[in-house]
């Protein structure tokens, strides 16, 4: 009944500006005012984010919402230890949205719980920082953009590499043309967890400290299962999109950024669950090929063999006619290429002039993944009202590449994508997979 209850409280249908000011208590955070935050989803990532937020003197955390009482309690203690105040705790984040002492919410729930709280928060006049991937499906991301724009709120996404000097410099290099024509981009995640993976788990009684129905949210109702719960939810399509969305989004985000593209023209995908024997329903092996004008992007993922590619177990490799750029969170490296005479040419035609490449080798060492600068950008946008570096629309497009990869894997054929309308061309079956069925009471509000 979440959507219904929310609309009866008066936010849906109310004038956006009025609703926003009434709910937040102040229309924008003043330059010297402290930002008052609430966290929704205080699990692993939520606490990583807190480690970056809490040392800042310009913010306070006044509330914690988590459907697991232990997570809410432990996180509230952590905030108290750092800031001295005792934040309000609740299982139901909707209770926080009415509060006038909260300017913005930080959402670090599982993927299937990103869209609804983000949309309800902006409707209640709060700005939002929401974790990647943007939503569970393409339609959710679009609904989040519509809500952010309609209610004129900041909606930043946790694709923190956008704020990293390392990634910024690397993208600048690709865009500058120094690598020549960049026609081939490879992104990858390789590791060996075969065959046990997360092991199998039988359904079990719901722990008394958990509201599992609210954890399930829009996803189909089912008995409690530890393998589908904290952290491991990412391997199930009811809640997330497997490794493709979990990690692939960080990597494809950089490819899209460097290409300055809204999305690919076409996608093909192949793979399966071939090396793990556990409960997952998302692939452990995947090869996704995206067509961009003049450039191919391939995302490769295997969980049955950990041999590093180019010396890295994950990364982004840009290949151009002058050289290559290898990039991950530790830094990036530019390697000039060497032009050769094709086999037999010298024998048939004699010596030929060979193009000399002037590109110089160089490398850059990163200090972090961009996390602290990303949070700083979010806080600054709350005051300046500018769009964040990882604005919802930018991250939505990157997330879409992951949804597309997963949909092409499911239907098993090449799909042609229209990035403007965000639909597949002439493929009704694939278009159905752009959205999901919502369990009653957890539907997205109509914006």
Q: Which residues bind ligand NAD (CB under 6 A)?
A: 40-46, 65-68, 71, 93, 108-111, 113, 131-132, 158, 160, 214-215, 217, 230-231, 246
The nearest distance, CB 231 to ligand NAD, in angstroms, is: 5
Beta carbon nearer to ligand NAD, 99 or 214: 214
The nearest distance, CB 438 to ligand NAD, in angstroms, is: 14
Q: Are 283 and 273 in contact (CB under 8 A)?
A: yes
The nearest distance, CB 145 to ligand NAD, in angstroms, is: 18
If phi > 0 it is left, if psi is from -120 to 50 it is alpha, else beta; for residue 159 that is beta
Q: Are 190 and 247 in contact (CB under 8 A)?
A: no
The nearest distance, CB 13 to ligand NAD, in angstroms, is: 24
Alpha-carbon dihedral of residues 415, 416, 422, 427, nearest 10 degrees?
-60
Beta carbon nearer to ligand NAD, 75 or 186: 75
Distances (CA, A) of 287 to 243, 302, 315, 408: 12, 9, 15, 10
Number of C-beta neighbours around residue 14 at 10 A = 15
The nearest distance, CB 362 to ligand NAD, in angstroms, is: 27
Beta carbon nearer to ligand NAD, 240 or 289: 240
CA–CA gap between residue 36 and residue 52 (Å, rounded): 15
CA–CA gap between residue 24 and residue 99 (Å, rounded): 7
Beta carbon nearer to ligand NAD, 118 or 430: 118
The nearest distance, CB 249 to ligand NAD, in angstroms, is: 8
Q: Which residues contact 204 (CB under 8 A, 6 or more apart)?
A: 223, 224, 225, 226
| Chain centroid, CA 281 distance in Å | 20
**Which residue, judged by CB position, is nearest to ligand NAD in the bound state?**
43
Q: Are 258 and 175 in contact (CB under 8 A)?
A: yes
Q: Are 271 and 158 in contact (CB under 8 A)?
A: no
Beta carbon nearer to ligand NAD, 135 or 271: 135
Beta carbon nearer to ligand NAD, 248 or 323: 248
Beta carbon nearer to ligand NAD, 424 or 442: 442
Q: Which residues contact 432 (CB under 8 A, 6 or more apart)?
A: none
The nearest distance, CB 370 to ligand NAD, in angstroms, is: 9
The nearest distance, CB 91 to ligand NAD, in angstroms, is: 7
User: If residue 65 lies in a helix (H) or strand (E), which one and from where to where?
Assistant: strand 59-65
CA–CA gap between residue 289 and residue 242 (Å, rounded): 17
Q: Are 159 and 252 in contact (CB under 8 A)?
A: no
Beta carbon nearer to ligand NAD, 188 or 233: 233
The nearest distance, CB 328 to ligand NAD, in angstroms, is: 13
Cis (ω within 30 of 0) for the bond into 83? Answer: no
Beta carbon nearer to ligand NAD, 281 or 429: 281
């Amino acid at each position: 009944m979440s959507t219904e209850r929310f609309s009866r409280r008066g936010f849906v249908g109310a004038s956006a500006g009025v609703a926003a000011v009434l709910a937040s208590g102040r229309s924008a955070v003043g330059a010297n005012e402290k930002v008052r935050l609430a966290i929704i989803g205080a699990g692993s990532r939520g606490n990583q984010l807190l480690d970056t937020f809490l040392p800042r003197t310009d913010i306070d955390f006044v509330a914690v919402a988590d459907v697991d009482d232990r997570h809410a309690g432990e996180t509230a203690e952590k905030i108290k230890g750092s800031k001295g105040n005792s934040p309000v705790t609740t299982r139901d984040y909707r209770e926080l949205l009415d509060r006038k002492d909260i300017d913005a919410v930080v959402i670090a729930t599982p993927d299937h719980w990103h869209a609804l709280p983000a949309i309800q928060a902006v409707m209640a006049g709060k700005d939002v920082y929401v974790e990647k991937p943007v939503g569970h499906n393409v339609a959710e991301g679009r609904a989040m953009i519509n809500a952010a724009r309609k209610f004129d709120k900041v909606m930043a996404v946790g694709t923190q590499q956008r704020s990293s000097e390392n990634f910024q410099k690397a993208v600048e290099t690709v865009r500058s043309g120094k690598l020549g024509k960049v026609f081939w981009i490879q992104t990858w995640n390789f590791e060996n967890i075969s065959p046990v993976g997360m092991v199998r788990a039988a359904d079990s009684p719901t722990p008394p400290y958990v509201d599992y129905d609210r954890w399930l949210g829009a996803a189909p109702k089912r008995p409690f299962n530890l393998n589908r719960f904290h952290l491991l939810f990412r391997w199930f399509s009811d809640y997330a999109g497997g490794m493709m969305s979990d990690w692939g989004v960080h990597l494809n985000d950089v490819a899209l950024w460097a290409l300055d593209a809204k999305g690919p023209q076409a996608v093909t995908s192949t793979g399966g669950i071939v090396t793990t024997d556990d409960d997952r329903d998302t692939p452990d092996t995947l090869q996704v090929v995206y067509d961009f004008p003049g450039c191919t992007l391939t995302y490769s993922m295997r969980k049955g063999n950990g041999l590093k590619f180019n010396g890295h177990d994950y990364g982004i490799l840009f290949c151009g006619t002058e050289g290559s750029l290898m990039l991950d969170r530790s830094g990036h490296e530019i390697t000039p290429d060497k032009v050769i005479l094709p086999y037999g040419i010298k024998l048939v035609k004699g010596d030929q002039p060979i193009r000399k490449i002037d590109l110089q080798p160089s490398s850059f060492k990163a200090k972090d993944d961009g996390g602290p600068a990303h949070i700083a950008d979010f806080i600054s946008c709350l005051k300046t009202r500018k769009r964040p570096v990882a604005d919802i629309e930018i991250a939505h497009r990157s997330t879409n590449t992951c949804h597309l990869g997963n949909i092409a894997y499911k239907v098993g054929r090449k799909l042609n994508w229209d990035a403007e309308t965000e639909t597949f061309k002439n493929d009704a079956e694939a278009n159905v997979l752009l959205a999901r069925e919502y369990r009653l009471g957890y539907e997205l509000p109509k914006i």
